[in-house]
Structure 1
């Protein structure tokens, strides 16, 4: 029986493309959710709304996990100095 590959060889550009695709998909699903909320003449479809909410949550969580795996650069000389962003 085949197992899962736990070693991925993705570049930073690959991860950026994945994140961009997830953001676009999240935007499309969000717009679908808004359109569903704006339908006033149709009865509310709670099952479709729940599915959309679960999908949005899953995409948001995945984007968060990708973000948390990034290592942000900070020069070694600045370790003792206070951090100033921007």
Structure 2
């Protein structure tokens, strides 16, 4: 019997990514408040630090975003 393989091609919209990011923020908040119901939603991995994994994933999602900066006028941040 052949082992199943992961699908490496994803068809996600920007809205899907935003929803995933929002859900991760909610789970992270619940874990930090000690709400154990959120822990039940996460995969069971021995020795896993879910808060760190969520932070890493949120960071990778953030780093893939392209933030708009106008090129035809001086940029004034704020």
TM-score where L is the length of structure 2: 0.67
RMSD: 2.3
Relative contact order, CA 8 A, sep 6+: which one is greater?
Answer: 1
SS in 2 for 1:32: coil
**Aligned counterpart, 1:18:** 20
1:57 aligns with 2:52: yes
Larger radius of gyration: 1
The answer for unaligned runs of 5 or more in structure 1 is 34-50
More helix by share: 1
**Aligned counterpart, 1:85:** 77
Distance 1:65 1:77 in 2: 29
The size of the alignment, in residue pairs, is 65
The answer for unaligned runs of 5 or more in structure 2 is 36-46
For residue 74 of structure 1, the aligned residue among 64, 69, 72 is 69
TM-score where L is the length of structure 1: 0.62
